[in-house]
Amino acid sequence: MPLDYPPTLQRLVAQLKSLPGLGPRSAERLMLWLVQGGKDRVRPLAATLDSLAETVAACDHCGFFIESGSACMLCHNPKRQRRLLCVVEQASDVLRLERSGAYQGLYHVLGGKLSPLDNVTPEDLRIAPLLDRAKDLDVEEVILALGSDVEGEATASYIADLLRGAGVTITRLAQGMPAGGALDHVDELTLYQALQGRRKVD
Amino acid sequence: MPLDYPPTLQRLVAQLKSLPGLGPRSAERLMLWLVQGGKDRVRPLAATLDSLAETVAACDHCGFFIESGSACMLCHNPKRQRRLLCVVEQASDVLRLERSGAYQGLYHVLGGKLSPLDNVTPEDLRIAPLLDRAKDLDVEEVILALGSDVEGEATASYIADLLRGAGVTITRLAQGMPAGGALDHVDELTLYQALQGRRKVD
**Mutation to test the B interface, candidates A1, A4, A5, A11, most B Cβ within 10 Å:** A5
Assign A13 a pLDDT band (cuts: 50, 70, 90).
very high
pLDDT digits (tens, 9 = 90+) for B68-104: 888 898 999 999 999 999 999 988 889 888 888 888 9
Query: What CATH number is associated with residue B50?
Result: 1.10.8.420
Range of the domain at A195: 69-200
Asked if residue A2 belongs to a domain, the reply is no
Instruction: Give strand pairing partners of A84.
Output: A141
Q: Is residue A62 part of a domain?
A: no
Q: Give domain status of residue A124, yes or no.
A: yes
Return the CATH number at A173: 3.40.1360.10
Tell me: do B18 and B101 sit in the same domain: no
Looking at the structure, do residues A153 and A104 belong to the same domain, yes or no? yes
The answer to whether residues B163 and B190 belong to one domain is: yes
Residues A87 and A43 grouped into a single domain? no
Asked if B113 and B156 sit in the same domain, the reply is yes
CA atoms of B106 and B75, how far apart (whole Å): 7
If pLDDT is split at 50, 70 and 90, which confidence band does B2 have?
low
The verdict on B49 and B135 lying in the same domain is no
More confident residue, B189 or B90: B90
A149 falls within a domain: yes
- Closest CA–CA distance from residue A167 to any residue of chain B (Å): 30
B201 vs B112, residue with greater confidence? B112
Give the C-alpha separation, A4 to A170, whole Å.
59
Mutate to test the interface with A, among B17, B52, B66 (most CBs of A within 10 A): B52
Number of domains in chain A: 2
Q: Model confidence at A122, in pLDDT bands (50, 70, 90)?
A: very high
Cβ contacts of B98 on chain A, cutoff 8 Å: 2-3
A66/B6 Cβ within 8 A: yes
DSSP state of B184: G
Residue B202: is its pLDDT beyond 80? no
Chain A residues lying within 8 Å of B30, measured CB to CB: 19-21
B32 shares its domain with B130: no
User: Is 0.95 exceeded by the ipTM?
Assistant: no
List CB contacts of B160: < 8 A, sequence separation 6 or more: B144, B170
B94 and B52 share one domain: no
Is A7 in CB contact (< 8 Å) with chain B? yes
One domain for residues A104 and A18? no
In a domain, B47, yes or no: yes
What is the 8-class DSSP label of residue A8?
H
Residue A149 vs residues A93, A113, A123, A153: alpha-carbon distances, Å: 15, 10, 21, 6
Does B64 fall in a domain?
A: no
| pLDDT (mean) for A152-160 | 92
In tens, the pLDDT along B165-174 reads 888 999 988 8
